Structures are given as C-alpha cells and as structure tokens.
Amino acid sequence: MPKDSGIGASSKRREDIRFLTGSGNYTDDINIRGQAHVYFLRSDVAHGTLKGIDTSAAEAMDGVVRIFTGADFEAVGGMPCGWQVTDRHGQPMLEPKHPILAHGKVRHVGEPIAAVVADTLEQARDAAEALVVDIDELPAVIDMKEAVRDGATKVHDDIASNLCYDWGFVEENKDAVNKAFEEAAHVTTLELVNNRLVANPMEPRVAVGDYARGTDEHTLYTTSQNPHVIRLLMGAFVLGIPEHKLRVVAPDVGGGFGTKIFHYQEEAFCTFAAKACNRAVKWTSSRSEAFLSDAHGRDHVTKIELALDKDNNFAALRTDTYANMGAYLSTFAPSVPTWLHGTLMAGNYKTPLIYVNVKAVFTNTVPVDAYRGAGRPEATYQLERLVDKAAHELGVDPIALRRQNFITEFPYATPVAVEYDTGDYHATMDKLEEMADIAGFAARRRESEAKGKLRGFGVNCYIEACGIAPSNLVGQLGARAGLYESATVRVNATGGLVVMTGSHSHGQGHETSFAQVVAEMIGIDENMVEIVHGDTARGPMGMGTYGSRSIAVGGSAMVRATEKIIAKAKKIASHLLEASESDIELKDGAFSVAGTDKSVAWGDVTLAAYVPHNYPLDDIEPGLEETAFYDPSNFTYPSGAYACEVELDPETGHVSIERFSAADDFGNIINPMIVTGQVHGGLAQGIGQALLENCVYDAEGQLLSASYMDYAMPRASDLPFYDVDHSCQTPCTHNPLGVKGCGEAGAIGSPPAVVNAVLDAMRSGGKNVSHIDMPVTPSRVWAAMNG
Amino acid sequence: MTKVTMTVNGKSASGDVEGRTLLVEFLRENLGLTGTHVGCDTSQCGACVVHVDGEAVKACTMFAVEAQGAEVATIEGQAAPDGTLNTIQQAFQDHHGLQCGFCTPGMVMSAAALLKDNPKPTEAEIRHYLDGNICRCTGYHNIVKAIMAASGQDVSRIAAE
C-alpha cells in the first residue's frame, strides 16, 4: 500500500503552485530600481588577433553608461578552473589564462570582447553595433586529432601545445592489459564518436549585479545550480571580494543539466560593473548567445577494445579517447573525461584489467564541461555498444553475454579505483526482460514488417557514480574544492521547521521531497517543514546540485542536522517529563516515556526551547537550531538495465521509438513520482542524443547548429510514453537514507539501447552494419542501409 | 513611442511602447506579468504562449502594437480569483507535468487552446499539437498524460506514478 506522506510517498509538489500560476521568481523576473543593461559584443570569428576596439562612436550614443573591454580587467583574476588533472607522466595539465573579456586574442565564436552598459538593452545593443573591432583572423583548429598534430596552430600561445593532458588510468595496469590482449581468444574493437551536445535548459542564463556603496556589499542574482560555489570562485579567485561582502542568489532556476554549475564571465562582469557604474547591471542571455556561451557537453572520439577468453569472459578492456575541452577550461571540465569517466569503465562487469587513456584537447570552440551524466554517459555508451558488438561477433545473445560477466558480489573493488557498495544487476535485468515483453517482440516485428518497416530491439546496462564525493579523495584527484554538503535546521517556537540546504533545486522538487524526509523523522505533517535554498545569505556553505548528489549528500546533511535537533529535543522532553533521557521515544510527533502513557507533544517541546521557563538551562542552551556538514565516505552506485524498441522506415531512414523500458536500482526512494519524472527527463535527453541532437562546427569554427532552427531539440512527437520501474532496490550502505540518486540515470542509460536497437533493425533488414554514430538521423540510416 | 491599450486577463492595460516592442516584453516589462517566459529567439520554444482574442499566440512573435484593443489572456489569469487552479493546471500538478516550471506557462496555455478546439484529443494529437512547445525536463510523458487527464480521459493505464 503506497504511503500518503513521508518517505516513500508520491507527495504532490508544493513548488508547482507558483510555477503553474506564473508567480515563480526566475532571475530574469528580478529588476533592480535604476538598473542598467549590458550587451556583450561577441567574436564572430573562431580565432584571431584582437588588435584594437574603437569605442568612441559608441560611447557618444544615447543612453550609454560605459563600455568595457579586456583592458578593464587586467587587474582582475581570470576565470578559474576547479579541477587540476595530473597526466600520465606526473605533470599537471596545461592551464591557459581565461579572461573575462577577450584580451589580445579571440579563441572561439561567441567569446565576449566588449561589454556595452546602457540605460536600456536596446540602447546597449544599438551602441554595440557602432563598436569598431579590428581582428586579424588566424587559422582555427576545430578537429581534435588535427589539433594535437605537430605544427598545429596553437589555441593558446602561453602554453606548450593544444594537448591539455594525456591521462592514463590505471597507468600501472597498462602492460598487464596489453599482455591480456595478446593472449585473448577474441578481441572486439569499436571506434565511435560521442556527439557534442548543448544542455539547453529552457531558461537562458541571466545575471544581475547589484552594489550598495554605503555598505560596500555586492549582490549577484544568477541562474546557478550552486550559488555558494559561485560566491567562492568569483569572490576569492576573480574579483577579490570577501564572502561576507558578497551575496549570491540563485532563485527559481529554469533547469540546469550541468551547464549552470560553472562560473561564467557574465556573472563576474555584472558584479564588477555594478560597482564600477554604481548601479545594478543586468544581462539576459538570448538563446542564440546561449548556444555560443553556455558550456557544451560530451564531444569524445574513442577507440575501445575488449579482450575475451575462450569462454567469453571479459579479460581486459582498453580505451583511447580524445576529449574536447574547447578554447578554455570551464570550471570542472578536466574532471569529466577523467575521474567521472575512466572510473566507470568497469560498468556492470567483472573485467579484471582495464586501461583508459584520455587526451584532452584545446580547440577553437566553446568550452566543454559537464552535461547531465558528465563522463558516465560517455563510458556507458562505449562499453555497452562494445559488448553488443562482441555478442554479435561471437554469435551469442547480448543479454546472456552481459549476465555471464555481471559483478555479483558486493562490495566490489573495480580495477579502476572505485568500490561498488551494493547492486543486483541480475535483478534489474530480470525486471527489464519482464517489462520489455521480449516474448512478444517477434509478433511486433512481424506487424512492423507487414507495414514495410523494420523493427529492432536493443538493451544495455549502466552503472554510474553519484553523490560526489569524499572530499579527501577528490582532493587527491585534483579537485580544488571539498564536496560535502550542509544543512541548517531551524525549529520555530510553534513547531514548524525551516531547513536551509546547500543543495539547489532547479526542477528536482527538493522543496517537496526534502520536507518529506524531515517530516518522517519527527512524525509531523510535511507542511510544517519549509525548505530554503539558493541564497548564500540564508544558508550555510553549500556545494550545490549536480551529479545526482542532492538527496545522497544534501539529504544526508539534512538528516544529520535533524538528528541533532531530535537529540536536543529529547533532552528538553526528558526534563518536561521528568524522566531519563534514555527512556524518551519520539513517535508521530510526540515524545513519550517508554513503557508509560506519559508524553509531551512536539510543539510543547519546541515552545519550551524558546520560552524556557521550565527548562534545563544549566545543561543546555535555549533555542532549537542545528547545522550539520556531511562528507560522504564513498560515491553511490545506481545501476540498471534499459531496453529500446525502434521501428525503422527503410525507405526514408526514419527511426521512431516504439517502446522504452527502464529498470533502475536507486536504492531507497523518497518520492516515487519525482524519481519517475527524473528518469523520464533523462531518457528524453538520452534519446535526444541518440536520434536528434548534434552540435556541429564547420572547419572555420562557425557553429552551424546555433539555434532551435538547427539544433534538434526533442519534441513531444519524437518521444513515446516510457515504462519506468525502480522496484529493484539495494540501498546504499554508507549514507543514512540508503539513497543513491536518480537525476542522470536516464541520460546515461539510454543512448546505447537506442543505437543497439537501430542496428538490430538494420540486421533484420539484411544489412549487417557494425556501428552507426549518433545522432542516428534519417540520412545516416539511409546511407548505412544503402551504402 | 506609441500608446497601446488592451485587455489583459479581463482588466484594461495600457502603456507606451516602441514600434519594436514585442507583446511579451510589454507583458513582462510594462505590466510586470513575468509568468510569460522567453526561452528562445526563433519562435520555437513556446514558453511565451498567451491567448490573443482566444487564439494561442507566441508573444515573442507579435508586436505589442499589434495587440491594440485585443483580449489577452496569460498564465496569471488562469486560476480562480481565490487561487484555485483550473482543470489543466490541477492536472499538471496531479500528474507531475512540470519540473523546473519554465516552459510550464506556455504548456498550460497551449493545452488550453488545444482542448478548446479538441476536447478529447488522442495521445498522437496532443504530441503533434505540442510541436511548438519545448520542455527539457519532463520528457513530455507527464505533460501528455496531464492534458489527457484534463480532458477527462482515463490515464490510469499509462505507466508511472
């Protein structure tokens, strides 16, 4: 019987009321009295020497407040990178300077080169057209393998080459891996591209900088997944503003998907300019600007090989990946193809030997960083395409080959440095086989064939690492941040609670699900708990929301703080009940003395804490407010098995998704409705990557897919109803809620199933194609079918 | 500047606008009705859908002066005066048809226009009609489900909570 409140209940979302009535408070809805507007003039060439900018005509135009160029920021720090990767020779990655406004050179189309601040946006835009920019265009490097050839044009003159790092993992395994390949009974090899994507949250980025000269206080309103991180990065490393004089507010944020993690130039600019102009400065990205300035995602080119023994056991795996960094290092870019990718290459399988090589490359393109899944979709795609290919080469059933090699004993230490705490991969595969109705597939295929269509079935498994991460571990791996989370629980006199969390909700429904947890722990109504996030002035230090970490890390911090509240409340209750503290039990919002009918209500205890007339003042302080920081001891490891069924029109190459089944193990679930919605959204992004989305540059570095006219966002008619299940639950062993995280699974687990299904459909049509790159567009399918 | 007057959510509204001022800018900046959103600049995403004289219109694709004398309805006018959600809004909450909420006003307004003309749309008709509304969060499953539910159809057999 489903619960109707607390942990495990599909409580309806409280945040929906404001979103459904047009009363949300997104950053672009914020206007400060007297604010000016900024328009950024952006480079229209991919690479060039910036010889000069003549601002004189523009400065004389109506409404212009001030025009800024790179020279205005010489005394200010550049954009910081939050993760330093060490290469396979023990050397630190190459880390070029990243200016707020281009200085000396432009390095990608869309790089901001001047900023016009004016009374209105129209005036700023008009004045920007009067700027005279003198750029000597240079050859652009776009292709990664070209970029690392000897003699290639360098993106940056201040570093040795375009090779940011050459990473080997685990370097000590390399010889043993190579030896295993020499001894293998069978080797399957696959070369593939993980297509470059644009995250495209529906709300474009916005920044509003405000400054109070009287108190020297800065405020930045911004579309961020982690306002505290922006405060630290921008305050300490860019502008030199101490945190107590800098408030960062990320109010309602209209989707993030990773691209709103990073600290961007426009945020630093608006904060800086508000002081320089002594008035608030607002920037609202257009969608066209978003394509040219939001960090992109994926963009890996990989060769992967699997060695199998004579019994089809996986013996060794080796990969060789080129990962695009773009023109500059975005905040967490170096970590994505390394620690968020190489560590996942074991997947669900007991492959004893693994070696991963990643070459990160600078090109004259927009910076590339984390996008939903961040490294884990790339790992899963390679591995699950490769296993499917191996099964077909060996003539064995793809599901049977997977099952044969599944990890079955936990905890399991992989050869790529992580330890899976729990999982049951056979259970999710069993569930998937039931959901996907494999028995009925032959009949469905006949129906499709009767219409002149081909039908294909594809599966994949996935494992991901969420809840990033133990701070001491990531510190060793190069993170320049801790990755704990914090929560403050403030109980008011009349019993209601406010929880201030460092996690940030931009669609995930924390205001509802976090309240369910605290309400369950105390035994009170969910509506007595308010969740506050997104404002550095209202909560303790927080690391924010990404990597499916909110409930696993932020939720755990909240549990720890609530446990402290309960412990103190029990002391107060024991005083009020004149009983030993060890005999006090909390149940259904009341404290009672074990074995008696004596009890005191939650509200009486909280009132006593603030009106301490009858109170143990000698032992404890009045008030009821506690803070906890939670630093996880390991990642969490959600896993699952997905199946896709496609129909392919051999006349046109068009592929439609007919069925999609997803069996996930997320450990314990707080709100099943929200979890299901998270999987739906992830699936749409994964299917979008597989069938539709592609970020394309031409050889000169012009972005060809720079609007919704050219970048194929998934629409309602591209997608089916999904069949989603999360009844297989192996709770996480090392966090207090037993939760694993669910935000990225859909995007990680779906692309290989789609491509495997398309290839299966082609085979059924007599065309044995071993691989097709994403997005699997009609033209690519048609070419493969008719090639 | 030109003075423009229209009826918005049943009340007369007027303001001075430039010829190039878009209807969505007039609603957001002049009237402070920030529920109507701007998600793109190519008239693709539908976050700005409002009703003008009963028809669904992308407010980023119409000048404010073109709405002179028109009856305009926005998301802010959809709930009852006491705050009770209308049938479509309630169905979106009941079926988790929104996550970040940014596309939601346009989705609700488009759904209302669809159901006015087609009170019992099929799944395929809904998906086709929403071609001009992009959502990046929900994968559309629960949006389609919510619109079917709002039209009085039984959605209990469609998977998921």
> Is residue A609 a contact partner of residue A570, using CB atoms and an 8 Å limit?
no
The CATH code of the domain at B2-76 is 3.10.20.30
Instruction: State phi, psi for A33 to the nearest 5 degrees.
Output: -55, 130
Q: What is the pLDDT of residues A227-241, one digit of tens each?
A: 999 999 999 999 999
Whether the CB of B139 is below 8 Å from some CB of chain A: the reply is: yes
User: Average of pLDDT values for A639-655?
Assistant: 98
Q: Which chain B residue has the Cα nearest residue A714?
A: B134
Whether the CB of B128 is below 8 Å from some CB of chain A: the reply is: yes
pLDDT exceeds 60 at position A5: yes
Q: What is the pLDDT of residues A578-594, one digit of tens each?
A: 999 999 999 999 999 99
- The verdict on a CB contact (< 8 Å) between A707 and B40 is yes
Closest in A26, A509, A717 to B131, CB measured: A717
Domains of chain A: 16-22+484-630 (3.30.365.10), 418-464+635-787 (3.30.365.10)
pLDDT (0 to 100) of residue B161:
47
The sign of the dihedral angle between the CA atoms of B20, A202, A752, B143 is negative
pLDDT (0 to 100) of residue A630:
97
Q: Report helix angle A555-577 to A510-522, nearest 10.
A: 30
pLDDT (0 to 100) of residue A608:
98
Q: How confident is the model at residue A3 (pLDDT cuts 50, 70, 90)?
A: confident
Helix H or strand E encompassing A762: helix A751-764
- The verdict on a CB contact (< 8 Å) between A202 and B45 is yes
pLDDT (0 to 100) of residue B42:
96
Q: What is the pLDDT of residues A485-494, one digit of tens each?
A: 999 999 999 9
> Is residue A608 a contact partner of residue A653, using CB atoms and an 8 Å limit?
no
Beta strands in A327-451 (DSSP E): 353-362, 412-413, 419-420
The structural domains of chain B, with segments of one domain joined by +, span: 2-76, 87-150
The residues in A 578-637 lying below 8 A from B, measured between CB atoms, are none
Residue A349 to residues A406, A421, A755: CA-CA distances in angstroms? 5, 14, 20
Alpha helices per DSSP H over A360-406: 376-394, 398-405
Question: Radius of gyration of chain A from Cα atoms?
Answer: 27
Pairing of strands A281-284, A497-501: unpaired
Q: Which chain A residue has the Cα nearest residue B94?
A: A12
SS3 for A277-332 is: HCCCEEEECCHHHHHHHCCEECCEEEEEEEEECCCCCEEEEEEEEEEEEECCCCCC
- The verdict on a CB contact (< 8 Å) between A19 and B34 is no
pLDDT over 90, % of chain A:
98
pLDDT (0 to 100) of residue A288:
97
pLDDT exceeds 70 at position B160: no
The CATH code of the domain at B87-150 is 1.10.150.120
Residue the block writes with tokens 């299904």:
A757
- The verdict on a CB contact (< 8 Å) between B128 and A681 is no
User: Average of pLDDT values for B141-149?
Assistant: 98
pLDDT (0 to 100) of residue A639:
98
Q: Report helix angle A555-577 to A602-610, nearest 10.
A: 90
State the average pLDDT for chain A: 97
Q: Output the six-digit token pair for A479.
A: 């993170």
State the complex-level ipTM.
0.98
- The verdict on a CB contact (< 8 Å) between B44 and A13 is no
Q: How confident is the model at residue A1 (pLDDT cuts 50, 70, 90)?
A: low
Q: Which chain A residue has the Cα nearest residue B135?
A: A202
Whether the CB of B151 is below 8 Å from some CB of chain A: the reply is: no
The pTM (predicted TM-score) of the whole model is: 0.97
- The verdict on a CB contact (< 8 Å) between A21 and B137 is no
In our burial notation (b when 16+ CB lie closer than 10 A, e otherwise), range A545-568 reads bbbbbbbbbbbbbbbbbbebbbeb
Closest by Cα among A730, A50, A41, A734 to A428: A730
User: Average of pLDDT values for A431-436?
Assistant: 98
Question: Which residues face A463 on adjacent strands?
Answer: A639
- The verdict on a CB contact (< 8 Å) between A721 and B141 is yes
Our measurement of the distance from residue A534's CA atom to the centroid of its chain's CA atoms, rounded to an integer in Å, reads 17
**Residues on chain B touching A16 (C-beta within 8 angstroms):** 92-93, 98, 101
> Is residue A319 a contact partner of residue A381, using CB atoms and an 8 Å limit?
no
Question: Between the CA atoms of A127, A130, A131 and A137, what dihedral angle is there, to the nearest 10 degrees?
Answer: 130
Residue A608 to residues A186, A491, A529, A571, B68: CA-CA distances in angstroms? 73, 12, 19, 11, 61
Strands of the A300-308 sheet, one edge to the other: A163-169, A353-362, A314-326, A300-308, A186-194
